[in-house]
Amino acid sequence: MNIQKDKYIRRNIHTYPFNYTYTDFEGFFRKEDASIYIHIPFCSTKCHFCDYTVMVNSKEDLREAYVQALIREIETFPSNPVFPKFRIEAIYFGGGTPGLLTAEQLIRILQACRDTFEVAPDAEIAVEFDPRSVEQDKTNALFDAGFTRFSIGIQSFDEAILKETNRPHNRHDIDQAVTAIRNSGFTHVNVDLIYPLIGLTPEIWEDSVKRAIDLEMACITVYPLEVWENTAYHNWIMKKGQKLPLIEEEKAMALRAFELLEDAGYVTGSTSGYFHPARAENYCRFLDYYWRTWPMIGFGVSSKSAIHQFMYTNITNVRQYIDRINADEPVLDFSTHLSKEQEIRRVMIRGLKVGDVYKSDFRSRFGVSMDLVYGELLRALQDEGYLTDDGEQVRLTRKGQLYSNAVWERFYVEEDLAPAKTGEVKFGLSELILD
């Protein structure tokens, strides 16, 4: 105890001293914003390049059993004592092909989210279809139920490429799908294209990009192919000597697509995603959560959740998933708890994947300045022409967009690239096959 003679104050420190401020109570007790990802693992064909957890030739009763299990998983989430309550800003139905479910099933799943979580009135509700699964009645019902973003996997407008990659659709299906989606009233519509593919020439690619632009959709995504083990593509390339277009051609395809899209008024929403500001406010709200590593809760087989430093993934087998949910058993497969250093690297790499990271966000999230942690690396990447840095926003340049993989790699440390030990699963690195 300290007695100050001049003021005659008896000072006694009970706790760590701090100051209060007058508070807006609504803001203070506000639930944390989050997003939801729902994995629908059904497809009508397995595309030769695709590695997603999907099941073809599923029967109606299995799909219904899956929907019921999914709803149960959603409804039981709040009983998990670890997580705070969330307010949902974006829900993404991905797959697989969610469009293979009935409208009634998709709406029932959405309703389960609304009954379980506080879903913001203006939340983005996004869904993926392949062109053949688009039907007018279905798109009408989804629009009326509050779905706001529609994405169709076109991949290519070339009939031969569609056939050779085992896509479930042809050109006619694309036309019909686009008309139906428009008629329903959807404006935030995205189409996916993919390059390079076996047999894809720069001319065929340019034609597809131009046709996608002619559709006047809000968003166009031009995915660079990833080749994963256990896909037909991997097998053909590694064992049968099939060849992808040369790396120089691939680069030319990317640059031509960026150029055509930008000339048509599109701007980047991620390294591969473009949106047209006159047709949509943003590229995809959910993907902001996903890439900027804001809270994302995953439901369904193989879904991933990333909630602060908690990262976990569900099992991939559909029947096992249904059985476990019905038996009230956990469906978690593997998980990890990121260290602060891993979280920091993840935020930088994934943020740059959207195109930019902000120094003030970094400081408020980690309590340390980005320059203190990464100053040297950022300066080097700037000098090499990959990034710009205006003191607040660090942004990928065109070169950075084109060689984005080379940018992420600079943030990796030894532990990121170390092979998985016994009992571990390596996650997040795809194999790039170069000529």
Enumerate binding residues for ligand SF4 (CB under 6 A).
43, 46-47, 50, 52, 54, 95-97, 130, 153
Give the Å distances, CA to CA, from 92 to 96, 151, 190, 288, 435: 12, 10, 13, 12, 36
Q: Which one, 35 or 53, has the nearer CB to ligand SF4?
A: 53
| C-alpha to C-alpha distance for 183 and 140, rounded to whole angstroms | 8
Q: Which of ligand SAM, ligand SF4, none lies near 46, with the C-beta cut-off 5 to 8 A by kind?
A: ligand SF4
The window from 13-21, 91-99, 118-126, 359-367 that contacts ligand SAM (CB under 6 A) reads: 91-99
Q: Which of ligand SF4, ligand SAM, none lies near 94, with the C-beta cut-off 5 to 8 A by kind?
A: ligand SAM
Q: Pinpoint the alpha helices (H) of 56-99.
A: 60-76
Q: Which of 35, 155, 184, 401 binds ligand SAM (CB under 6 A)?
A: 155
Q: Which of ligand SF4, ligand SAM, none lies near 225, with the C-beta cut-off 5 to 8 A by kind?
A: ligand SAM
| C-alpha to C-alpha distance for 274 and 258, rounded to whole angstroms | 9
Please report whether residue 128 would count as binding ligand SAM according to CB under 6 A. Answer: yes
Q: Pinpoint the alpha helices (H) of 117-201.
A: 136-145, 159-164, 171-184
Q: Which of ligand SF4, ligand SAM, none lies near 300, with the C-beta cut-off 5 to 8 A by kind?
A: none
| Amino acid residing at 319 | R
Q: Quick one: which of 70, 62, 67, 63 has its CA closest to 36?
A: 70
Q: Is the peptide bond before 96 cis (omega within 30 degrees of 0)?
A: yes
Please report whether residue 161 would count as binding ligand SAM according to CB under 6 A. Answer: no
| C-alpha to C-alpha distance for 297 and 91, rounded to whole angstroms | 9
Region 187-206 residues binding ligand SAM, contact defined as CB under 6 A:
192, 194
Give the Å distances, CA to CA, from 167 to 93, 155, 160: 20, 9, 10
Q: Which of ligand SAM, ligand SF4, none lies near 194, with the C-beta cut-off 5 to 8 A by kind?
A: ligand SAM
Place of tokens 């008896």: 10
Helices (H) and strands (E) in the chain, counts: 17, 19
| C-alpha to C-alpha distance for 335 and 304, rounded to whole angstroms | 9
Task: Give least dist CB 110 to ligand SF4, A.
Answer: 20
Q: Which one, 35 or 155, has the nearer CB to ligand SAM?
A: 155
Q: Which one, 51 or 371, has the nearer CB to ligand SAM?
A: 51
Q: Which of ligand SAM, ligand SF4, none lies near 110, with the C-beta cut-off 5 to 8 A by kind?
A: none
Region 227-256 residues binding ligand SAM, contact defined as CB under 6 A:
none
| C-alpha to C-alpha distance for 334 and 310, rounded to whole angstroms | 11
Q: Which one, 153 or 295, has the nearer CB to ligand SAM?
A: 153
Question: Is residue 396 within 8 Å of residue 352, measured between CB atoms?
Answer: yes
Place of tokens 């476990």: 324
Q: Which of ligand SF4, ligand SAM, none lies near 358, with the C-beta cut-off 5 to 8 A by kind?
A: none
Task: Give least dist CB 41 to ligand SF4, A.
Answer: 9
Region 97-116 residues binding ligand SAM, contact defined as CB under 6 A:
97
Please report whether residue 223 would count as binding ligand SAM according to CB under 6 A. Answer: yes
Which runs of E-coded beta strand occur in 110-259?
118-129, 149-155, 188-195, 219-224
Please report whether residue 130 would count as binding ligand SAM according to CB under 6 A. Answer: yes
Q: Which of 41, 153, 245, 298 binds ligand SAM (CB under 6 A)?
A: 153
Site string for ligand SAM, 14-53 (x = CB under 6 A): -----------------------------x-----xxxx-
Which runs of E-coded beta strand occur in 315-389?
332-337, 356-358, 387-389
Q: Which one, 189 or 225, has the nearer CB to ligand SAM?
A: 225
- What is the total count of residues that contact ligand SAM (CB under 6 A)? 18
Q: Quick one: which of 15, 41, 34, 156 has its CA closest to 94?
A: 41
Binding site for ligand SAM (CB under 6 A): 43, 49-52, 94-97, 128, 130, 153, 155, 192, 194, 223, 225-226
